Structure formats: structure tokens, C-alpha cells
Structure 1
Amino acid sequence: MRGGNGKVAYIDTEGTFRPDRIVPIAERFGMDPGAVLDNIIYARAYTYEHQFSLLLGLAAKMSEEPFRLLIIDSVIALFRVDFTGRGELAERQQKLAQMLSRIMKIAEEFNVAVYTTNQVIADPAGGVFVSDPKKPAGGHVLADAVTIRLMFRKGKGEQCVCKIFDAPNLPEAETVFQITPGGIDDAKD
């Protein structure tokens, strides 16, 4: 629909990419699913080093073709697998910072929007008065590297809740919505 007028790169660290989900989305907007899928390049990463290597190769590809979006799902997953325990936390955060720096450089150099998903961890310091004591994995290194942080969670029944945690031009807020076969309905602030 001439939105970004370029390709999408999808780096999958958890094996959750589903091309069959793209088909009904494309059809909903009157687009050719095959053409949409042809504009998505996909790579599965298996270690944090492999993820970094994919980013380097992707930068070379971006210098040849116009890309407008880079999706990394999930940016922290492989770091949590490859580095375990408090003894490796400092090294993990250092390697994570290097990867985030590479991602920011790609975004700036190739004028690409970046969308990353993250995992959450239990926050025992959340206290008894917090109904959902979870916090984003990756700590301050990850939080400081992104511009906008959103958290999605299941609401009542079929509802979903999106909370803005951090955005330069928006206050912290929540909205409730429902995803239906026809799209997103009943957005409420």
C-alpha cells in the first residue's frame, strides 16, 4: 500500500515467525500475499553471536536494496540462553549493548524503523500491591537504547491492554483494545 516503500527484515530468535499469518493480513488490505511475502526477508538466529552476524549481513543487503523496517523478535532471548547466572551478567549486558549499538547504527545509516520485542521477568521487588509484578528483561542497557517502550498484556475476556512505559512525546498511559478477524476494535484510552 506504498507505506514504507521498501522491504522488511525479520530476525527471529525464538522460532515464532509465521508466514501463514501474513496472508490474511495482506488480503484484508487488498494486497497480493505473495508480493507481500516477497518483500520480507527472514532469518532465524540460534545464538547471540549468530544474531550479531545476521545484523552485519543485513547491513550489506540494506546497502543494495531499500529496507524500511527491521524486526527483531526477541532481542533479549538468545542473551538469556547464552549467558546464565549473575557471574555472566556483566558480560551479557556488555554484549547486549554492543548489539544494540549496531542496531542503532543500521537504523540511522539506512533510515530504517526498528521494532523489537522483549521478554519479561518476574520482579520480586514489585511488591504485594502490584497486580502483575513483571519487568522487561535486559535492564537499563535495553531500556536506554529504545525510544518508545510499550507493554502488551491480556485483559479481561478477549481484551488486550497496551501500556506506554516510555515515549518522548506521550505520557504514561494505557489503552484497551480487542483484535478481531476484521482488525483492531474498540480502542479505549
Structure 2
Amino acid sequence: MLAKEKTDEIVPKVGGKKKVESEKEETPETKSSEKKESKEKKKECKEKAITLSDLPGVGPATVDKLASVGYSDLMAVAVATPGEIIEVTGMAEAAAKKLIAVARTSLDMGFESGIDLLKKRENGMKITTGSKTFDTLMGGGFESGAITECFGEFGSGKTQIGHLLAVNVIKQYPDAAIVYIDTESTFRPERIIELAKGAGLDPNNVLKNIRVARAFNSDHQMLLAEKIDGLIKKQNLNVKLVIIDSLTAHFRAEFIGRGTLAERQQKLNRHMRDLAKTASIHNLCVYVTNQVMAKPDQFFGDPTQAIGGHIVAHASTFRIYLRKGKKGSRVAKLIDAPNLADGECNFFVETNGLKDV
């Protein structure tokens, strides 16, 4: 009995020593760091191992179809809708949903903390206008990852701002590329040369970095916007700025009367969604100009309204109303922004760029 009692007393002591030793080897800090490292390694392995061609039901022909309209990587597929995939590939709805679900799982898409999001925004880009008051109004400049819309009557400065942004982004990022979709034949290389000289840049270098395409109708315009992803992926262009001047000109001309309003708005909505997706995925700035119309039956306030209705209003991250001011000046009024107060500023459009009043 005594021997048994002694052995019973010894076993817990030995076990206790082992437990203490294991606790010393694996602290909570060590465990958390090991878990973090394993998660990161798994994520890296997933991203490296899985490509578009590895997804279920995707053969070489499907990969080519997807890539031809901008779905050239997992992220593009992950943020697409089943309807968009079906339209391009012709696959069944269940297969399209499975394709998107696998793409999202492989990229580990989900929630992120506010701190992580803040860090991403701090590393974002803001293109200066060259005007201190205008930059202050915009919180430092035109923001990447967003759509900025400028609307106003003819001669209010919409196209001038587009040309100016194209030059200024090269000044900030010498290797940047600009995509300019021209729907009204208003792009002028001569104006780029003037602005480049005013900014102290080589005009030929600036023009070389601008890709201009003339859109002849709304379908062509939407197709050109879809090809931006291909320019970035296939041609390795460092696209920082996309300009569409003007966004609504073709839609306004092609869809006339109330009977075509629903179809027009649906197409416009899809176009804006594609632009927003491109801005977000590639962290680039999208600048669009918009036409206006007058409401003769409005007796009080400004009768000027932007074309595109609520579709364009909701899709645009920042909305700026441009109008002519006194003595040849221009007035920019910020009427919608997620993080900025409404306000306005005055400036002059000169040969070398914008000048504060």
C-alpha cells in the first residue's frame, strides 16, 4: 500500500513538470504568431496555386472569352455577377455561380477591419488640379478608387479639367498611363502640349503616355471601358487615370423619349458599375464629364440638372457642378462626397493651367 501511495504521488508531480515545460515552450503569443504565419502561408499558396484556368468548368476557350472582355484574373471573376459571366461564356447559371464562389473563396474575400481600410486609403492617390482652393475643396485632389463626375453647361471647364488631370498625373507619377475615351471629339493634343510646358514637362513624353480612343456610340463606349483591364494586364500599363468626356452624350442622343428611358438607364447603370469596378480593383481615378439640361418650369433656384438621373448620381463618388463665374472665372461646387463637406471655389482657366482667384 505504501508503494502504491508513493507512485500515485510521483505521477502527478512528473506530469506537472511536463505540463510546465510545455507551457514554457508554447506561450499564447507563440501560438498566435504561428497561427498568423500559417494563415498567411495558406493564403499565399492559394493565390499562387489557383489561376483562372484552374477554376471548375473553365476550359481554354472560356478563359479566352472571359479575358477578351476584362475577366482576366480571379479578382475580376470574383466581383462579377452570374448574369455577366453567363452573357460572356454561355455557361449555365449554376456553373456561373459556382465559378464566382470558388474565385471568391480562393481570394479569401471577406470583411476587413477599419484600421486596415484606413491604411489602404492612406496609401491611395490624389491627383492635384494645380489650384490650391480646388484641391482643398476635394480633400487634396481627385481621389483614386473612385468616380469623380463634373457636370455643367458648355464652356464651364469640364474638358479643360480632364486635360489638366492627364498632365498633372504624369507630373506626380512619371510612368503613369492615361486612358482617354473621347465621345465628342474634344481631345486636343495641342492643349496637352500647352499644359505640359506650363508644368515643366516634356510634351512628347506626356502625349506618349495617353491612350486616346474615339467612341462612336454607346455600345462602342462601353466596349472601350471594358478593354481597360486588358490594357493594364496584357500591355502592363500603369494606368492611373481614366477620362470619359462625355459620359452621357451618346446615351442622350440614342435613347430619345420616355419609352426608351428604362433601357437607357439600365445600360448607363451597367457602364457606371464597370467603371466603379475598374477604379476599385486597380486603384485608379475615373473622371467623367456630364452634360446638363434645363427645367423651364422651375421658377426658384438653379434649373440646371445633370443628365443620367439617379443612376449617375448614385454611382458617382464625388459630384462637382461647374458653372461660369464673374470676369471669365469658373466656379466649382462640390455637391456630393462621402467624406467632404459641401463647398465651392473660384478659379481661372489659363494657358498654363488653373489659377486661383
Same-fold call, TM cutoff 0.5: yes
Count residues with an aligned counterpart. 185
* Alignment partner of 1:185 is 2:355: yes
Aligned to 1:128: 299
Which structure carries more strand by proportion? 1
TM-score of the two chains, using structure 1 as the length reference? 0.92
Distance 2:268 2:198 in 1: 37
* Alignment partner of 1:154 is 2:154: no
Aligned to 2:257: 85
Amino acid paired to 2:288: T
> Which protein shows a greater Rg?
2
TM-score of the two chains, using structure 2 as the length reference? 0.50
Asked if structure 1 preserves the Cα contact closer than 8 Å seen for 2:246 and 2:288, the reply is yes
Runs of 4+ in 1 over 3 A off after TM superposition: none
Q: Which one scores higher on RCO, CA 8 angstroms, separation ≥ 6?
A: 2
Identify unmatched segments of 5+ residues in structure 1: none
Distance 1:69 1:182 in 2: 20
Mapping of 1:6-155 within 5 angstroms?
A: 6-63=176-233, 64-124=236-296, 127-130=298-301, 132-155=302-325
Matched position secondary structure for 1:115: strand
> CA offsets per residue over residues 62-90 of structure 1, 9 Å max, x none?
11221000000111111111111100000
Amino acid paired to 2:299: V
What is the CA distance between 1:2 and its match in structure 2?
4.9
Identify unmatched segments of 5+ residues in structure 2: 1-169
Matched position secondary structure for 2:240: strand
Amino acid paired to 1:76: T
Identity %: 44
What is the CA distance between 1:147 and its match in structure 2?
0.8
Distance 1:6 1:39 in 2: 7
Amino acid paired to 1:146: S
CA RMSD, Structure 1 to Structure 2 (Å): 1.5
Matched position secondary structure for 2:216: coil
Distance 2:356 2:338 in 1: 26
Amino acid paired to 1:122: A
Aligned to 2:339: 169
Asked if structure 1 preserves the Cα contact closer than 8 Å seen for 2:241 and 2:284, the reply is yes
Amino acid paired to 1:6: A
Amino acid paired to 2:312: L
